[in-house]
């Protein structure tokens, strides 16, 4: 995925994180559920790869949500 595409995913993830961040409790889990339901697998894979390389530009809630998805994926692969 191109650098521009990752930047767009980062922007989108931060916007979603801001929406769920208002909830305070369960924000990352809510965001993870949203990404699971509404983002295509290739989008989730690209943002997960970005987080694996440091997650530059992502807000903490977005990083936490993506790590939830990574953990679920790792658990499913085990």
Q: How many C-beta atoms surround the C-beta of residue 74 within 10 A?
A: 9
* CB distance 43 to 9 below 8 Å: yes
How confident is the model over 3-60, as pLDDT tens digits? 669 999 999 999 999 999 998 789 999 999 999 999 999 999 999 999 999 999 999 9
User: What does the alpha-carbon distance between residue 73 and residue 55 come to, in Å, rounded to a whole number?
Assistant: 18
The Cα-based distances of 8 to 2, 58, 71, 74, 78 in angstroms read 10, 11, 23, 25, 31
Q: What is the pTM of this model?
A: 0.89
pLDDT at 76 (0 to 100): 83
Does the pLDDT at position 2 exceed 70? no
Run of H or E residues at 16: helix 3-21
């Amino acid at each position: 995925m191109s650098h521009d595409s990752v930047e767009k995913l980062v922007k989108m993830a931060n916007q979603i994180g801001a929406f769920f961040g208002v909830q305070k409790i369960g924000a990352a889990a809510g965001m993870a559920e949203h990404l699971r339901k509404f983002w295509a697998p290739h989008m989730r894979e690209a943002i997960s790869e970005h987080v694996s390389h440091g997650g530059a530009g992502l807000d903490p809630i977005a990083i936490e949500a993506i790590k939830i998805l990574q953990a679920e994926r790792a658990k499913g692969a085990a």
